[in-house]
């Protein structure tokens, strides 16, 4: 039974995401992606003209999925702004404690591409991070935080710094410290 074009594309995206996340964009070749997807390199290039185009498509797809997960997760949260940021960092700690955790994929990709400011993956990562910050702003506004957009930016800084330090030190304990700072930040607004 022949596979559909959409199924093949999705297999490539899933294989590429798994490899890029585990090993980094620069260390993964299209040969490895094609092999993991169970396809020929020619088939991969039929769907994506370049490795850069593949990375952009992977990030677009993962950004959509990540925002959906974040929104589903937050839909059930009750409580004030302090309870919200506490839950946010508790969830971050839980995520970072999972075996094989390698940090935030969007941030890692941008670090790898630091010398390529015009790379499409950097623009996609920027849009994703802006969408997360906007979501934070909406959640804080719902919880009556004044200057919710500014507070969201500050919480986003705490999140990114927390992820970086947890990755560097291999310890999710930084989430508790960041949660305390975030609680104090939203309580004074």
CA proximity to 59, closest of 4, 96, 112, 5: 112
Torsion of CA 189, 87, 122, 7, to 10 degrees: -140
Q: Does the pLDDT of residue 2 top 80, yes or no?
A: no
- The pLDDT tens digits of the residues spanning 26-60 come to 899 999 999 999 999 999 999 999 999 999 999 99
pLDDT of residue 22: 87
Task: Domains for the chain: give ranges and CATH numbers.
Answer: 1-55 (1.10.10.60), 79-187 (no CATH)
pLDDT value of position 1: 41
What are the CA-CA distances from residue 110 to residues 24, 47, 117, 150 (Å)? 11, 24, 9, 23
Each residue's pLDDT tens digit, 83-117: 999 999 999 999 999 988 888 888 989 999 999 99
Mean pLDDT of the chain: 93
Question: Helix/strand/coil (H, E, C) string of 160-187?
Answer: HHHHHHHHHHCCCCHHHHHHHHHHHHHH
Residues 18-22, mean pLDDT to the nearest whole number: 91
Question: How many Å apart are CA 119 and CA 187, to the nearest integer?
Answer: 39
Give 68's contacts (C-beta < 8 A, 6+ positions apart). none
How much is the average pLDDT of 1-8?
A: 71
In this prediction the pTM is: 0.87
Which percentage of the chain shows pLDDT scores above 90?
A: 84
């Amino acid at each position: 039974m022949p596979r559909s074009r959409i199924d093949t594309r999705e297999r490539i995206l899933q294989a590429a995401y798994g490899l890029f996340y585990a090993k980094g964009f620069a260390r993964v070749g299209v040969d490895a992606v094609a092999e993991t997807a169970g396809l020929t390199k020619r088939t991969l290039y039929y769907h994506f003209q370049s490795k850069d185009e593949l990375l952009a498509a992977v990030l677009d797809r993962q950004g959509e999925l990540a925002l959906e997960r974040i929104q589903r997760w937050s839909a059930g949260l009750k409580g004030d702004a302090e309870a919200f940021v506490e839950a946010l960092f508790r969830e971050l700690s839980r995520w970072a404690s999972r075996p094989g955790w390698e940090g935030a994929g969007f941030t890692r990709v941008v670090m790898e591409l630091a010398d390529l400011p015009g790379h499409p993956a950097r623009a996609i990562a920027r849009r994703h991070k802006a969408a997360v910050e906007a979501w934070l702003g909406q959640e804080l506004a719902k919880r009556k935080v004044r200057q919710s957009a500014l507070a969201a930016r500050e919480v986003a800084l705490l999140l990114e710094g927390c992820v970086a330090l947890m990755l560097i030190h291999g310890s999710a304990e930084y989430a508790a410290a960041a949660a305390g700072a975030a609680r104090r930040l939203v309580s004074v607004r």
